[in-house]
Homo-oligomer: A and B are copies of this chain.
Amino acid sequence: MSAQFEKNDKIKFSEDEVLRQIEQAILDHRLAPGTKLKEVQLADLFGVKRGMIRKVLTRLAHSRLVDQMPNRGATVARPSVKEGQDLFATRRVIESAVLQNLVTHIDHRGIAHLRKMLRREQKAYQRGDSATALTLSVDFHRELAALAGNSVLEEYLHDIIRRTPLVILTHLGDDEQNRCRNQEHEAIIDALEKHDLKTATRVMQQHLLHIESKIQHKPEKPQADLATLLRRQPEAVQA
């Protein structure tokens, strides 16, 4: 009468919190592409009702992080190589447009803000905290889009950024190749400050092509059980 109750012996999570945790588990590579996501199992795991898991899975399916098949449930999505290429190509288009907006709209305050973000990112690298560095690196791109002031472009870039890690994982593996080189971030800020669109765009294209060029097929990894994989490793938590 004890063991079977342990699973519910925890705080109840909100829908957004459950979404965030599952999404993070996917993006942290703890849930491999193709992994079955069973509703009751997840519901018990988080101590919530099945209906909520259902809604969460639908939301995740919408952002293409999971696949849903009628009557056959949800699995972690396995994006094709082609989808990955299209995603990267579109990202180059979006980020170019962002820069084009920025080069006319940005002011000293914006530049200063970007430099502050860059410094935090560099410090994280220097102290070897690559998890934080990666987060901050992504935030840099997001912040560029936010400063550009076009909500639709921003929305699309968020969508792409959300989907990208899964593509990389699926076809490149967990090889730590997928992070930004922050010298390029610095070069982009410098160019923006001088209102030099051409240089900013060129550096950005290099920057993105650098990752894109590495996508290629890779065999699947063995898989542990769902509960273990959802449990986040302490050392991976960002500072």
Contact = CB atoms under 8 A, between A and B. Distances in A.
Contact of A86 (B55, B82, B90, B153): B153
A151 B93 contact: no
A166 to B, nearest CB: 14
B160 A86 contact: no
A83 B155 CA distance: 11
A237 interface: no
Contact of A160 (B62, B83, B89, B152): B152
Interface string A27-62: 000000000000000000000000000010010001
Interface string A143-158: 0000000111100100
Given A62-B62, A156-B156, A97 B93 contact: yes
B150 A90 contact: yes
A69 to B, nearest CB: 15
Interface residues on A, range: 10 to 19
A115 B150 CA distance: 34
A131 interface: no
A25 interface: no
A19 interface: no
Chain copies in complex? 2
A150 B86 contact: yes
Which of A82, A87, A97 has most B Cβ within 10 Å? A97
Contact of A151 (B58, B62, B86, B153): B86
Q: A-B pairs with the 6 shortest C-beta distances?
A: A90-B152, A93-B97, A86-B152, A86-B150, A86-B151, A90-B153
23 contacts: A55-B58, A58-B58, A62-B62, A82-B151, A83-B151, A86-B150, A86-B151, A86-B152, A86-B153, A87-B152, A89-B150, A89-B152, A89-B153, A90-B97, A90-B150, A90-B152, A90-B153, A93-B93, A93-B94, A93-B97, A93-B153, A152-B160, A156-B156
Interface of A: 55, 58, 62, 82-83, 86-87, 89-90, 93-94, 97, 150-153, 156, 160
